[in-house]
Structures are given as C-alpha cells and as structure tokens.
C-alpha cells in the first residue's frame, strides 16, 4: 500500500512539474480566465442594471442564478476544448519521448502511472475551477449568496472536469500522437454531451439514451439539485476511463 | 545477483531473444556483444523490467523478478539506449524525479543528488533543460539517473554512445569503480575495445541466442575479435551454455 502511494505521488509530482513548465497550460489558463473575467463583468453589469426591476420580486432569481451559475456554465463550455489540450500528452507524450519504459523500469505498475498522471491533471483542472469561482466569491460581502445552489453547481463542474479529465487521459493512453489524443477526447466529450440530442428532438425524454448523456446529469446540479444518480454517473465514467487506460498501458508493457 | 533462465521474447513477429540463460555475480562486469539486431537491447529491457519476457525467468538476489517487478525500484539502475529524457525538465529535476520514483526523499535524495552531480561533473548543467543538452550530455545525465539510488545491478545499453574519448575513459573508470564496490554491471555494446577495456566476462549474442560466454583476458583483443567475427559471419554457430 505504501509503495502504491509513493509510486502514485512520484508520478503525480513528475506530471505536475511537466504541466507547470509547459507554456500550453499557462496560456490556456490565462486566456480562459481572461475570457471568463470579461464575461463575469458583463453579467455583473447586467445584474446591477436590473436590480430595481428585481426588487419587486423578492423570490426572483438572485446573484448566483444570474451571475454565478451562468459563469460556471461558460467554464463547462470551455472545458470541452481545454481538457483535451491539457490531457493530450500525458501518456502519448511519454510514449513519443521514449520515457514510458523509464517508469516501468522503476517498478511502477500501469495503474499507478495512470492514477498519478490523472491526479496531476485533476489538480490543474480544480485550480482552474477555483480561479473561476474566485470571481463571484469576491462579492461575498456585497450581495446575498445562495450557498446551496453555488455548492451544487461547483460539485457538478468539479465532477464534469474530473470525468472529462479521465476520458482525456484514456485517449492519451490509446493515441500514438498527442494531437490524435486531443481530437479523440474532444469527439468523446461532445458525444457524451449530446448523445441524447436526437431523442430529445423526437420528443423522447427519459430512457437509457438520456441517462447516457452528460448534460442530463450536469443540468440538475447546475440548477441546485444534487442526486446520487448523477454523482454515480460521473464516478462510473471516471472509473471506466481510468480502468481502460490502465489496461491499455499494461498491454503496452507486455507488447514492448 | 542476476540469473536468467531460458528467457525468450518475440518482437515484431520474430524471435528477438531465444532461450537465453546467464548468471552474473556481484562485482562482475559482463559485456553483451552483438551486431545490430542481435537482441542486446531486448535482453537489457527485460532485465531492467521495462519489457516482460514471453517465457523464462529472471531472478534477482534469488527472488523472482517477474513475480515481484517492484524489486527494480531499489535493485536496478538502467541506462537505455539514447538515454530518453523529459525535455521540459532540468538536469536537477530529472535527478529528483528519478529519486522519487526510486523511493528516495528529503535529505537522502538531496545527498544522493549532490554526490552524483559531483561524480559525473554535471554542476554546470544542473539548471539546464534536458531538451537542449547535447547527446553526450544526455548520456551522462542518463547515467546519473541510473546510478542515483546506488543500485545493486547496473544495466547499461550502449553507454559510450556519443561520448568523447575523455568521457569514455571517465565512463570506464566509473564502471570499474562500481564493480569494485560490489555492483553487478551488464553493458551492451558493439565495440570490442569497450569489452576488453572494462569487462570481466563477455557474452556474444547472435540472432537472439547466446553463442559465446567466457572470461575476457587483458590483451586478448585479437582472440575476442576472431570469435566475434566467426559468430557474426557464420550464423549457424551452436548456442553456448551459461557460464
């Protein structure tokens, strides 16, 4: 057990270091946070200008409904592009550098490598979420906060980022080139999001196809509804993606 | 220290190593000699734990390495061919990463890192990114990573590649120093001079099979050359048995 922890921590540390020194992670963080800050300012301006009309409806939507959750919604949209770019080279980059055998030769099992790399990516993604959350939280003392709604939406976003991150790591394990991994992760993320689009257009709500769609599980959380089913869906996706990645990496070691 | 028994591995649809049996005691330097494609790198990758054999066994200190791959963590130091590195990490960060992977931390890691940097004269490169190092410098860094945790078995794949004559002489003295300290060393090369200069024993591989295994006598370069060319030119030579 202690070997498992040490191995995973060593791989996480290595991947985290590689993420921090690569310009891509910094450029993505700077561009997306700037974009979100600009949108936050626009939404805040709109919220402030409609304050008098909303004063007449005491139970109407508040700051979190009109600014906080839409901001997180924009982060979710950006995640479809950012997560594949962040995860694309975690394993396929190692394969191209020829450094993967170094990890195997240090006695690190495949699943420790996958888990270690996933945790590093997850750390970066959660930091990105935290930076975005800091914008509405900066107004903590100036307006009323619906903590329940913000908490549920944050949980939803964290689960979504964790799931997309796991899918990205899996794609990177299967792809021979980082660009292929990014493309595959983008396609999978979009497919997971919109798998029920056809069914909804045909007026079918519910059923397996709707259960499969990520949007069916994220939307309730963004509305403030936390249900075990939605959380389990995300956890299953994470476990499945990491298990596939570990299996593939172990097969790589066998194949040589 | 190391015992290979009937080790076999296929690569790209053809047998790369077949029924290879070898032993290597502590403090001995074994040279693995062979032409390109003879199976040297495949053999060393299996010994280092980066590649699983299709059949056969590898024992380290009497323990089954294939059953306990985590033995590699402390016991083996490996310098693969062309020294693969993470281009975005500095020399110093490489040593830290390898130290963490081998279970070193804190003061122990710091001490080991300082010692190996000094021994391999890497001080001027310590803060330089691996991606901008010359091939010779990469090779020295790879060697430093392999030696950092003081392994009991050192596996070196073409270690003299891209080194200048001064560095080659330094490498030879380092290998002898490691052997004198009790480390078992196995190095692959296609240079006969390398074997006669540094090895106690030589094993010649051809077409994935062991064709010769015997001691190296100083000044016996001509005899070794004759054996090597006989094996390389005549691929029907009978496989040799382990020493």
Q: Quick one: pLDDT at residue A248? A: 95
Does the structure show a pLDDT above 70 at A71?
A: yes
To which residue do tokens 């099992």 refer? Answer: A109
Does the structure show a pLDDT above 80 at B151?
A: yes
In degrees and rounded to multiples of 5, residue B80 shows phi and psi of -70, 165
Distance from CA of A193 to the nearest CA of B (A): 34
Mean confidence (pLDDT) of chain B: 89
Q: Is the CB of B80 inside 8 Å of chain A's CB atoms?
A: yes
Using one digit for the tens of pLDDT, what is the confidence trace for A110-140? 999 999 999 999 999 999 999 999 999 998 8
Q: Quick one: pLDDT at residue B236? A: 53
Q: Is the CB of B100 inside 8 Å of chain A's CB atoms?
A: yes
3-class secondary structure per residue, chain B: CEEEEEEEEEECCEEEEEEEEEEECCCCEEEEECCCCCCHHHHHHHHHCCCCCCEEEEEECCEECCCCHHHHHHHEEEECCCCCCCCCCEHHHHHHHHHHHCCCCHHHHHHHHHHHHHHCCCHHHCCCEHHHCCHHHHHHHHHHHHHCCCCCEEEEECCCCCCCHHHHHHHHHHHHHHHHCCCEEEEEECCHHHHHHHCCEEEEEECCEEEEEEECCCCCHHHHHHHHHHHHHCCCCCCCCCC
CA dist., res. B44 & res. B187, Å (int): 8
Instruction: Give residues with Cβ within 8 angstroms of B45, minimum separation 6.
Output: A101, A256, B51, B80
Average pLDDT over residues A136-159: 90
Q: Quick one: pLDDT at residue B217? A: 75
Q: Quick one: pLDDT at residue B243? A: 46
Total CB pairs under 8 A between chain A and B: 83
- How much is the ipTM here? 0.86
Instruction: Give residues with Cβ within 8 angstroms of A232, minimum separation 6.
Output: none
pTM of the predicted protein model: 0.89
Average pLDDT over residues A2-13: 86
Using one digit for the tens of pLDDT, what is the confidence trace for A161-212? 999 999 999 999 999 899 999 999 999 999 998 887 777 777 777 678 888 8
Q: Quick one: pLDDT at residue B239? A: 59
Q: What angle do CA A204, A209, A210 make, to 5 degrees?
A: 65
Using one digit for the tens of pLDDT, what is the confidence trace for B99-125? 999 989 899 999 999 999 999 999 999
To which residue do tokens 């949980």 refer? Answer: A155
Residue in A14, A97, A105 to test binding to B, most B beta-carbons within 10 Å: A105
Cβ <8 Å between B87 and A97:
yes
In contact, A165 and A83? CB cutoff 8 Å: yes
Average pLDDT over residues A42-66: 83
**Tokens encoding B37:** 């494609």
In contact, B35 and B231? CB cutoff 8 Å: no
Does the structure show a pLDDT above 70 at B241?
A: no
Residue in B44, B91, B93, B97 to test binding to A, most A beta-carbons within 10 Å: B97
Per mean pLDDT, which range of A105-109, A200-204, B152-156 is the poorest?
Answer: A200-204
- Higher-confidence position of A52 and B30: B30
Rg of chain B, C-alpha, whole Å: 18
Average pLDDT over residues A95-101: 90
Mean confidence (pLDDT) of chain A: 91
In degrees and rounded to multiples of 5, residue B204 shows phi and psi of -105, 125
Distance from the first to the final alpha carbon of chain B: 14
């Amino acid at each position: 057990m202690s070997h498992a922890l040490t191995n995973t921590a060593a791989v996480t540390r290595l991947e985290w270091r590689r993420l921090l020194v690569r310009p891509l992670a910094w450029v993505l963080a700077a561009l997306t946070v700037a974009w979100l800050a600009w949108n936050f300012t626009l939404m805040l301006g709109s919220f402030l200008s409609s304050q008098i009309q909303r004063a007449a409806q005491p139970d109407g939507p508040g700051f979190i409904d009109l600014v906080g959750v839409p901001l997180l919604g924009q982060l979710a949209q950006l995640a479809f592009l950012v997560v594949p770019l962040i995860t694309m080279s975690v394993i396929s980059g190692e394969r191209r550098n020829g450094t993967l055998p170094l990890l195997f030769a240090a006695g690190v099992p495949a699943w420790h490598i996958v888990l270690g790399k996933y945790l590093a990516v997850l750390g970066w993604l959660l930091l990105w979420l935290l930076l975005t959350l800091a914008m509405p939280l900066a107004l903590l003392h100036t307006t009323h906060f619906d903590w329940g709604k913000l908490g549920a939406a944050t949980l939803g976003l964290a689960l979504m980022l964790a799931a997309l991150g796991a899918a990205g790591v899996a794609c990177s394990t299967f792809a021979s080139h980082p660009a292929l991994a990014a493309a595959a992760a983008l396609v999978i993320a979009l497919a997971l999001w919109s798998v029920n689009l056809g069914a909804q257009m045909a007026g079918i709500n519910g059923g397996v196809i709707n259960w499969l769609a990520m949007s069916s599980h994220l939307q309730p959380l963004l509305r403030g509804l936390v249900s075990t089913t939605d959380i389990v869906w995300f956890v299953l996706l994470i476990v499945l993606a990491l298990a596939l990645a570990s299996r593939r990496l172990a097969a790589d070691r066998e194949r040589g | 220290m190391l015992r290979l028994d009937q080790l076999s591995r296929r690569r790209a649809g053809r047998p790369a190593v077949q029924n290879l049996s070898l032993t290597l005691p502590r403090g001995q330097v074994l040279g693995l000699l062979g032409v390109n494609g003879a199976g040297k790198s495949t053999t060393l990758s299996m010994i280092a734990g980066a590649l699983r054999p299709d059949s056969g066994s590898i024992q380290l200190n009497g323990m089954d390495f294939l059953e306990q791959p985590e033995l590699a963590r402390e016991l083996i130091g490996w310098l693969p061919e062309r020294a693969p590195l993470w281009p975005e990490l500095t020399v110093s960060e490489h040593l830290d990463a390898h130290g963490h992977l081998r279970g070193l931390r804190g003061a122990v890691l710091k001490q080991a890192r300082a010692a190996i940097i000094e021994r391999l004269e890497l001080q001027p490169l310590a803060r330089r990114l691996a991606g901008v190092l010359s091939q010779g410098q990469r090779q020295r860094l790879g060697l430093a990573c392999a030696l950092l945790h003081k392994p009991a078995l050192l596996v070196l794949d073409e270690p003299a590649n891209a080194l200048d004559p001064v560095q080659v002489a330094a490498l030879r003295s380092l290998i002898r120093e490691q052997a004198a300290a009790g480390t078992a060393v196995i190095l692959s090369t296609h240079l006969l001079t390398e074997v006669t200069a540094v090895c106690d024993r030589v094993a010649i591989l051809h077409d994935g099979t062991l064709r010769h295994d015997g001691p190296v006598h100083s000044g016996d370069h001509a005899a070794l050359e004759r054996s090597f060319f006989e094996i390389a030119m005549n691929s029907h030579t009978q496989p040799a048995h382990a020493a």
